[in-house]
């Protein structure tokens, strides 16, 4: 009986480890915005600022381009002329914000997201 129990415990541990290996947890920051990005089967983003915590619904939409990033309802757009990054969340009430960042900050941010996504 104890051999069977230890075998079942080993199998349970193996399945738990396999499930954990599929999960991705990543945090990245752009000025005062902190993004926690998780993935099990779909992507989920949590945005934290000084005044706000927004938890996005799970989505399969994760697009990283040189001047924009979209994760579900969250959209970041970079404007080269002004160095502004505009944040827009398409929901019932909607959220809009902006920060100013230089080229290197934006490039590091985009590179970290591409690495997370596996590009």
Q: What is the pLDDT of residues 18-39, one digit of tens each?
A: 555 556 788 999 999 999 999 9
Query: Mean pLDDT, to the nearest integer, of 43-66?
Result: 93
Confidence of residue 5 (pLDDT cuts 50, 70, 90): low
Residue 8 and residue 16 in contact, taking contact as beta carbons nearer than 8 Å = no
DSSP lists the bridge partners of residue 45 as: 37
More confident residue, 25 or 85: 85
Q: What is the pLDDT of residue 6?
A: 75
Confidence of residue 4 (pLDDT cuts 50, 70, 90): low
How far apart CA 114 and CA 119 sit, in angstroms, is: 5
Query: Mean pLDDT, to the nearest integer, of 83-104?
Result: 90
Residue 101 and residue 83 in contact, taking contact as beta carbons nearer than 8 Å = yes
Give backbone dihedrals phi and psi of 26, rounded to 5 degrees, phi first.
-145, 135
The percent of residues above 90 in pLDDT, for the chain, comes to: 64
Q: In terms of Cα–Cα distance, which of 74, 72, 75, 66 is closest to 110?
A: 66
Q: What is the pLDDT of residue 52?
A: 87
Q: What is the pLDDT of residue 2?
A: 63
């Amino acid at each position: 009986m104890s051999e069977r129990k230890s075998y079942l415990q080993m199998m349970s541990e193996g399945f738990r480890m396999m499930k954990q290996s599929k999960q991705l947890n990543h945090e990245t920051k752009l000025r005062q915005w902190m993004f926690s990005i998780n993935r099990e089967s779909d992507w989920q983003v949590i945005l934290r600022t000084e005044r706000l915590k927004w938890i996005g619904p799970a989505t399969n939409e994760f697009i990283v381009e040189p001047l924009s990033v979209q994760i579900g309802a969250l959209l970041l757009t970079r404007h080269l002329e002004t160095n502004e990054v505009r944040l827009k969340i398409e929901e019932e009430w909607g959220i809009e914000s902006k920060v100013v960042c230089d080229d290197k900050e934006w490039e590091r941010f985009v590179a970290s997201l591409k690495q997370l996504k596996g590009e």
